[in-house]
Structure 1
Amino acid sequence: MTWQPRFAFRAGGEPLPKERPRATKTGRSFTPKRTRDAEKRVLTAFRAAYPDAEPLTGRLLVEARFYRATRRGVDADNLAKLAMDALNGVAFVDDEQIEKFIVERHYGAGDRARTEVRIYEKDSPA
């Protein structure tokens, strides 16, 4: 079995970590606006590159590279969580399909801050 490239795209802007849901005084929970906006940026970049894409259904390998402008420490898994949540149901049916995940975090990108994602699908045995 081999991994076949399916999607590769770049979303400009500072990669942000997924924030925890917030709760109102009435107990209703919501996703912070900053997180919603960052997810929309990733989704918009994917849709621009693949406007007619159907969600992948097989086992996946995902490579995500985050180029941050600042050295402010953020957890790599929270950066990845935001990108995968943005693509869930769009690039793939569910993030449960991800069999292998490679995440890299780079600093000092300045005005070239961005998120790069490559998604591969596993071939079925012949």
Structure 2
Amino acid sequence: MSRQQISFTIPGEPCAKGRPRFVRASGRAVTPQKTAQYEQLVQLAYMHHVGQEHRLNGPIKAHIRAYFTIPKSTSQRKREQMLTDELRPQKRPDADNLAKIVLDALNGIAYGDDKEIVYLEVEKHWAISPQVCVTLSEI
């Protein structure tokens, strides 16, 4: 039986999972609009790459690489250090929140439930063009 691997890219600046807001009147939790929009972008990127009917099965390894835009005010020397990974982004969003928004968005689409993720690796890098690269592998 062959193990499947799927890789795709989410364009744009990486986004973190926002905390749900509670409506006092109804007591219901509401997902922040920015979170909902980014989750939709993740789903579209996945479906564009592999189609709607493709799911991984069994235990899954997830590798997420987030690339952040280098600030325009950065010096040339520091910019080179950022592009060669001598300097890495130690800024928000947190790595765990980056993973959460991507994995939650793929629930029921790339796999049945994110409980199937048994290995997770998240990296943060600087880059010229912002994006998030996701690789999912059956193990």
Change (3 A) 1:40 1:52: closer
- Structure 1 CA distance, aligned partners of 2:112 and 2:53? 12
TM score, norm. by length of structure 2:
0.78
Q: Relative to structure 2, which stretch is displaced further, 19-28 or 87-96? A: 19-28
**Is 1:117 the counterpart of 2:117 in the alignment?**
no
Give the Cα separation in 1 of the matches to 2:34 and 2:49. 23
Alignment match, 2:18: 19
The separation in 1 between residues aligned to 2:93 and 2:49, in whole angstroms, is 27
Aligned residues: 118
Cα shift at 1:53:
3.4
Query: Could you tell me the percent identity over the aligned residues?
Result: 36
Q: Distance in 1 between matches of 2:119 and 2:98?
A: 16
Residue 5 of structure 1 and its aligned partner are, at CA, apart by 4.2
In structure 1, what is the Cα distance between the partners aligned to 2:57 and 2:3?
Answer: 13
Report the AA paired with residue 24 of structure 1: V
Q: Which runs of 5 or more residues in structure 2 are unaligned?
A: 71-88
RMSD over aligned Cα, in angstroms?
1.7
Secondary structure of residue in 2 paired with 1:35: helix
Farther off after superposition, 74-83 or 45-54: 45-54
Which segments of 5 or more consecutive residues in structure 1 lack a partner in the other structure?
A: none
Bigger strand fraction:
1
Say whether the 8 Å CA contact 1:5–1:118 is kept in structure 2. no
Given candidates 93, 102, 115, the residue that maps to 2:112 is 93
SS of 1:18's equivalent in the other structure is coil
Shift of residue 15, structure 1, vs aligned partner:
0.8
Q: Which residue of 2 aligns with 1:40?
A: 40
**Residue in structure 1 matched with residue 8 of structure 2 by the alignment:** 9
Q: Is the 8 A contact 2:107 2:114 kept in 1?
A: yes
3-state DSSP of counterpart to 2:102: helix
Tell me, in whole angstroms, the C-alpha distance in 2 between the residues paired with 1:5 and 1:104: 22
CA deviations over 1:20-42 (Å, ceiling 9, x no partner):
10012312211000000011111
AA aligned to 2:92 is: G
What is the TM-score with the length of structure 1 in the denominator? 0.86
